[in-house]
Amino acid sequence: MNERRHLEDLPRRIVVVGGGAAGWMAAALLARCLKQARTTVTVIEPPGQRGLGVGEATIPSVLRLLDNLEVAEAEMMRACEATYKLGIQFADWVRLERDSWHPFGVCGARLDGRDLFPYWHAERLAGRLLRPYHSYSVHWAAALAGKGPHAEGGSPISHTRSYAFHLDAVAFATFLRARAIAAGVEAIDGAVTSVSRNATGGIAQVRLDDGRAIPGELFIDCTGFRAQLISEALGDPFISWNDRLLCDRAVATRIPAARQVAPFTRATALSAGWHWTIPLTSRTGVGYVYSSRHTSDDAAWEELRRATGDGGDPTREPLLLKLRVGRQTEFWKGNVVALGLAAGFIEPLESTGLHLTQVAIELLLDLLPDRRSPDLLREAYNRRMTRIFDEVRDFVQLHYMLSGRRDTPFWQDATAAAGSDALVARLAAYDESGWLEDLLPEAFPDTSWFHILAGNGRLPRRPLPLALAADPERVQSTLAAMLRQNEQAVQELLPHGEILAQIHGPPAEPEVAAATAGRLI
């Protein structure tokens, strides 16, 4: 009886304004989690073109999303032309003709409950070790070998669920839409033209372009950079980060698929930013994220075409985007929660777009208010989401701060941009002994930070004392065992192309280009 009363206190109607991947992800998760409550979830989505499907990369948290939606991995992959992702290769970031890596998962293994890094660092300072930190990652070794995450009987990568996907973002939104509607979500085609406020300063209803009024108790703003509800209607201020992350434009397109589909994302530094390479089954998505203060749209498009070998085809149309870099002051204001681009945007260098939306919805489900809820739930949500966004911003800016590039005005300015107080303090502690303070699990773990720091040549002054006290023979023996285990695991992994063929069928012949695996050192 008590349980039923609590369910009846939940919002009677939740209205999601705007569709896309953010809106339909929210609707699908809300509908599944509230299926025992009498809550109607409504999505209002304007009709028309949803995007070009140039490809989007994810991080391993997306597997949790599939679990929560009870979606089979292969089903999603077939619907979204998806391929596997084991990490990111950063080409020309440290300096020209040098690459660094951010593989997923644990690097090697944890020793005495700690990341491998302090022990690796102690051995390196003692002159007993030359191999780079990332070379102990089985994900890195598998990426080099063109392997997928799965093997007959399982693998270390599949067992730890430390892999992700490249997918068509438009197809992913369509896939989520179908799951949401199957779960009972109401879909309305229309554009919101005005809102009516309630007595507490929130929103009582939204009015559509056809005159209909849609009331709700909780509203989800998924209206993209416009932030129609949280910003335009409720006046929440936007905090710009253009002084720290200089890239405020993107141009994207599609090029033919590679014969051998790489199981990793490539981010290649260019003169005024960087370009992504995201392999899908039928094509490759490419795009250039750049600073409008350092190049023009036309020049960026030409540079992207040269960089991707697409300069000879003038028929390919680019998608030009203006990026609103930063976040809202509050993510939840009144009875409005902002998700996706309406909440904020951090350039996709570490593939965090869908991830930030997902963790925001998961946190909202943890703190979902009912009619008796005090404001402290909203305040807790805003504190947590602020920390998550700010820490992801700091991690992305770290890539620029560590770069040795100074060959163009963009790189001179990007490497000199001031970091946040939290990032400066974290780096100061790391520079002393390799200690990383208070990292959030929803952002990036210590292993990810170690990959970026060590890969760019920034190492602490001294090792942690516990690493110095470890028996060197035991550490060396453990490191050697890690490499042997990785070699064995990679041998057992199935080739990426073979797994994709099992899921998608044989690759299509038309419009197939030569392999573009690039440098793998």
Q: How far is CA 245 from CA 95, 142, 293, 468, 492, in A?
A: 19, 32, 12, 37, 41
Whether 183 and 65 have beta carbons less than 8 Å apart is answered as no
Quote the crossing angle between the two packed helices 421-433 and 376-402, to the nearest 10°.
Answer: 60
Q: Quick check: is 35 catalytic?
A: no
Rounded CA gap, 16 and 25, in Å? Answer: 10
Tokens representing residue 26 in the block:
């929210």
Rounded CA gap, 276 and 288, in Å? Answer: 7
Q: Where are the alpha helices (DSSP H) in 282-328?
A: 297-307
User: How many residues belong to the chain?
Assistant: 521
Tokens representing residue 443 in the block:
């952002």
Is the alpha carbon torsion for 370, 373, 375, 377 positive or negative? negative
Q: How far is CA 244 from CA 217, 248, 290, 413, in A?
A: 37, 11, 13, 10
Residue 57: which H helix or E strand, with range?
Answer: strand 56-57
Residue among 35, 85, 147, 322 flagged as catalytic: 85
Spell out the long-range contacts of 180-186 with Cβ–Cβ below 8 A and sequence spacing 24 or more.
180/24, 180/27, 180/28, 180/31, 180/41, 180/43, 183/28, 183/31, 183/32, 183/35, 184/31, 184/35, 184/41, 185/27, 185/28, 185/31, 185/41, 185/42, 185/43, 186/40, 186/41, 186/42, 186/43
3-state secondary structure of 311: coil
Helices (H) and strands (E) in the chain, counts: 17, 25
**Residues classed as catalytic:** 85
